[in-house]
Amino acid sequence: MKVIETISGMKKARQELGGTVGFVPTMGYLHEGHISLVRYAKSENTHAVVSIFVNPTQFGPTEDLATYPRDIPSDLAMLEECGVDIVFIPTPREMYPRRYSTWVDVKKVTEQLEGAIRPEHFRGVATVCNKLFNIVRPTKAYFGQKDAQQVVVIKKMVAELNMNLEIIVVPTVREPDGLAMSSRNVYLKPDERQGACVLYHALKLAEKMWKQGETDAHRIRQAMIKLIEEEPLAEVISYVSIADGDTLEERHEVKHGALVSLAVKIGKPRLIDNTVLE
Ligand code: AMP
């Protein structure tokens, strides 16, 4: 497994790869969710490339950039075991040299949900993914359904900028009790870790109501909010949304393919999760 830190080194190594390349962009501190993406990339391509980059431009000024969990030796051991060909670990200065000034700004689908709370977030995500795609030139890039709005934004960017790769979405990997795996779960104290399951329970409730024939989005949202409010450690509900899966516009009437998503602050982290009503 090659570990490469420079853009020129990564581009050169890419030139030497024949066949197809599956690419998994990450911010590191890897868990089974990330590894699931890597396994898909490995199984569907000749080569697998993973990037580890805590992208400063997608963090707001009051967010956790400085304290975001990092463990490169453990990440590399996990990726080596998966049989990854190349790990790209650039520095922030390598990706954003002095006087950096070019941004990719996807409109509309970035204005609600996470985008409403984190105004510059998706501009940072779209820009860094665009740069990484240009450097790695993957055949397919793999993203987790866990970050549902990110998937919508990246797919739109790739389609509208006519980019030459396919975006593959991988199901959310969960802990045995339903909590979606996330690098930020490390911030949870033991009682908060228990309480964090309320996000999953609220999503399960939405699925159950939908299966029983409920199509009024307001009623489903209210039931979810009531359930979350019963959890004393759920401090702030940022949003509970039932939206169109493509446009992310809120729905009154729930239809097949609707995206139910929520964000709840439990202790230090604000956790996000979602489900698609099938
Ligand atoms: P991150 O390191 O948090 O930026 O995540 C890198 C990629 O892993 C993104 O495409 C995430 O959506 C994906 N991911 C994170 N957590 C999970 C999970 N629990 N299941 C599946 N994919 C995940």
pLDDT of res. 50: 99
Residue 175 maps to a domain: no
Please give the Cα distance from 183 to 186 (Å, whole number). 6
pLDDT of res. 243: 98
Residues 156 and 44 reside in one and the same domain: yes
The tokens describing 100, both together, are 């950096």
pLDDT > 70 fraction of the chain, expressed in percent and rounded: 100
pLDDT of res. 61: 96
Report the relative pairing of strands 86-88 and 234-243 from DSSP bridges. unpaired
Ligand 1 site, residue 121, Cβ cutoff 6 A: no
Sign of CA dihedral 204, 209, 215, 218: negative
Three-state SS for 71?
coil
pLDDT of res. 62: 94
Residues 124 and 240 reside in one and the same domain: no
pLDDT of res. 134: 98
Residue 232 maps to a domain: yes
Measured in whole angstroms, how far is the alpha carbon of residue 250 from the centre of its chain? 21
Residues 252 and 208 reside in one and the same domain: yes
Residues 258 and 146 reside in one and the same domain: no
Residue pair 20/11 in contact by the 8 Å Cβ criterion: no
Substitution candidate for ligand 1 out of 24, 26, 32 with most atoms within 8 A of CB: 26
Residues 160 and 252 reside in one and the same domain: no
Global pTM reads 0.98
The tokens describing 241, both together, are 């949304």
Final residue belonging to a domain, choices 130, 147, 170: 170
Residues 163 and 195 reside in one and the same domain: no
Residue 85 maps to a domain: yes
Residue 177 maps to a domain: no
Domain span at residue 229 reads: 183-276
Residue pair 127/103 in contact by the 8 Å Cβ criterion: yes
CATH of the domain at 136: 3.40.50.620
Final residue belonging to a domain, choices 149, 170, 191: 170
pLDDT of res. 65: 97
- Of the pLDDT bands very low, low, confident and very high (cuts 50, 70, 90), residue 10 is very high
Residues 130 and 189 reside in one and the same domain: no
Residue pair 26/50 in contact by the 8 Å Cβ criterion: yes
Give the tens place of pLDDT for each residue, 102-131: 999 999 999 999 999 999 999 999 999 999
Which is nearest to 210 in space by CA: 219, 198, 201, 197? 219
Å from CA of 99 to ligand 1 middle: 30
83-to-19, 49, 50 alpha-carbon distances in Å: 16, 10, 11
Rounded to the nearest 5°, which phi and psi values hold at 22? -100, 130
CATH of the domain at 264: 3.30.1300.10
Rounded to the nearest 5°, which phi and psi values hold at 215? -120, 5
Please give the Cα distance from 43 to 84 (Å, whole number). 11
- Of the pLDDT bands very low, low, confident and very high (cuts 50, 70, 90), residue 246 is very high
Å from CA of 113 to ligand 1 middle: 18
Residue 129 maps to a domain: yes
pLDDT of res. 133: 99
Residue 178 maps to a domain: no
Residues 153 and 188 reside in one and the same domain: no
Per-residue pLDDT, averaged over 187-213, amounts to: 98
Residues 48 and 151 reside in one and the same domain: yes
Report the relative pairing of strands 21-26 and 140-144 from DSSP bridges. parallel
pLDDT of res. 192: 98
pLDDT of res. 210: 98
Ligand 1 site, residue 37, Cβ cutoff 6 A: yes
Active site residues: 34
Per-residue pLDDT, averaged over 18-38, amounts to: 98
Per-residue pLDDT, averaged over 190-196, amounts to: 98
Residues 87 and 30 reside in one and the same domain: yes
Residue 164 maps to a domain: yes
Per-residue pLDDT, averaged over 165-173, amounts to: 98
Ligand 1 site, residue 143, Cβ cutoff 6 A: yes
- Of the pLDDT bands very low, low, confident and very high (cuts 50, 70, 90), residue 99 is very high
